[in-house]
Structure 1
Amino acid sequence: MNTRSLLDQLLHAGKDLLQNQGGGNAAPPTRSNAGSPLGGLLGSVGGGALGGGAMSLLMGSKKARKVGGKVVVYGGLAALGVVAYKAYSNWQSQTQAAAMPGPPQTVDRVPAAQVEQHSQAILRAVIGAAKADGHIDQRERLLIDGEVERITDDSELKRWFDQELAKPLDPADVARSAATPEIAAEMYLASLVMVDDQNFMERAYLDEFARQLKLDPALKSELETQAANNLG
C-alpha cells in the first residue's frame, strides 16, 4: 500500500480549496518564517478554513466551517514530521532520562522503507480522531469512501481505509500502531490537528489516546504547544 500518498493528499485538502476560492485566508510567507524549516513547510498556513473533500467529511461539517479553528497541515506529512521532531527534541533536551543515541527518527527523517509504517500509523490516528465525536454515520461513510475512491486507485489501500473507518472507536487499538516513541508522538500530533479540543468527547478521547500511547506528560504538553504554535 502507498499510505503516504493518500495521507499527503488528505492533509493537503484545504490548500486546493483555498486556492480555488482566490486565496482565501492563506498567508504568504513572511520575513519571520521565511528562514526557518517550519516556515518553509508551513508558511502557507493561514488562520483559515479547513479543506473540502475527504478531509472535510472526516472532520464533520461543523468543524470544517470553523474559520478560526485548527487548519490542515499544508506541508503534508513532511511538515507533520518536522513539528513532531521539534517537539520531541525539545522534550529530550529537558529530560535527561529521555536521552537517545541520536536524533529522533520522525517520519521526515526515516529511510523510505520505514515511511509506510509511520504513514499507516498516522492515518489510523487521523481516522480515529475523526470518529471521536461520533459524527460519522453511514451516509458520511459512503461519501468519504467516494472521495477516497477518487483520490487513489490502490484497491488494497481503499479496503484498508474502509475497514478502519468501519471499526468501533478504540483508542487502545489505534495506539497499538505506535511501534516507536516517535510514531506515538506523530500520531498524537495528527490527532490534535483533527479534533476540536473544546468538545468534551474529543478532549476525552485525546486524553485517553495519550494514555494508551504512553506519552510522557511533558512530551504531551510539548506536542500540544507545537501544534498550537505551528499547526493551528
Structure 2
Amino acid sequence: MNTRGLLDQLLKSGQELLQNKGLAQAGGQPQAGQGAGKGGLDIGSLLSGAGGGALAAGALGLLLGSKKARKMGGKVVAYGGLAALGVIAYKAYGNWQRQQASAPRGEPQTVDRLPPVEAEAHSHAILRALVAAAKADGHIDARERQLIDGEIAKLTGDLELQGWLDRELAKPLDPREVAGAAQSEEMAAEMYLASLLMVDEENYMERAYLDELARQLSLDPGLKAELEAQAQKALQALPA
C-alpha cells in the first residue's frame, strides 16, 4: 500500500481547505446536489474542485466534518505535508530527550528522516491515528463514509489501501487498538501529533479521546506537553 503518498496529500491540503472556507464565508454556493453542511463549509466546491489539492481537501473536509473543518483548517496548514509533521515531531522529541536525566538515545528517527520502507510503516500508523481522531466526535455516518470512500478513490487507485481505510472508518473507536500500531516512541509521538491535528480540544469528547490515546501510547507527560507546545508554535508561525 502507498499510504505515504496519500497521507502527504491529505496533510498538504490545508491551504485548499482554507481557501474554500473563505469562499463559503463570502457567500459561495455549493454545487447542485451537495450541501454546504452544518457549519457552512462549501463541501460541494471541494468535491468538484480541480486538482489533487482540492480533492485531498475534500476528503479531509469530510473527515473533519463541515463545521469543524472551518475551525481546524489552520491546523492543517501549520502541519503542512508529511515531512513537516515529521519535523515538528523531531523538534518536540529532541527537546524532550534533552530534558531527560538519562544518557542521550541518539537522533530521533521521525518519519522525515527514514528510508522509504520505514517511512511507509510510520505513515500507516499516522493515517490510522488521523482517521480514528476524526471519528472522536462521532460525526461520520454511513453517507459521509460513502463520500469519503469516493474522494479517496480519486486520490489513489490502490484498492488495498481503499479497503483498509474503509475498514478503519467502520471500526468502533478504540484508543487502545489505535495505539497498538506504535512500534517506537517516535511513531507514538507522530501518531499523537496527527491526532492533535484532527481534534477540537475545546470539545470534551475529543479532548477525552486525545488524553486516553496519550495514555494508551504510554507517552511521557513531558513528551506530550512538548508535542503540544511545538504544534502551537507551528500555528503561531502562520502569517496572519
Q: 1:86 to 1:139 in 2, by over 3 A?
A: same
Letter in 1 for 2:62: L
Alignment partners' CA distance in 2, 1:224 and 1:18:
22
Q: TM-score under structure 1 normalisation?
A: 0.82
2:100 is the alignment partner of 1:99: no
Q: TM-score under structure 2 normalisation?
A: 0.80
Question: Contact 2:17 / 2:73 at 8 angstroms: preserved in 1?
Answer: no
Q: How does 1:76-225 map to 2 (within 5 A)?
A: 76-97=81-102, 99-100=104-105, 102-225=106-229
| Residue in 2 that maps onto 1:6 | 6
Question: Contact 1:12 / 1:73 at 8 angstroms: preserved in 2?
Answer: no
Identity %: 68
Q: How many matched pairs?
A: 205
Q: 1:73 to 1:164 in 2, by over 3 A?
A: farther
Alignment partners' CA distance in 1, 2:60 and 2:162:
15
Letter in 1 for 2:59: A
Alignment partners' CA distance in 1, 2:145 and 2:110:
31
Q: 1:67 to 1:90 in 2, by over 3 A?
A: closer
- State the Cα RMSD in Å: 2.2
Question: Which runs of 5 or more residues in structure 2 are unaligned?
Answer: 24-55
Stretches of 4+ aligned residues off by more than 6 angstroms: 20-23
Alignment partners' CA distance in 2, 1:123 and 1:150:
17
Shift of 1:96: 2.2
Shift of 1:141: 0.5
Shift of 1:66: 1.9
Deviations 1:80-110 (A, max 9, x none): 000000000000000123731x200000011
Shift of 1:161: 0.7
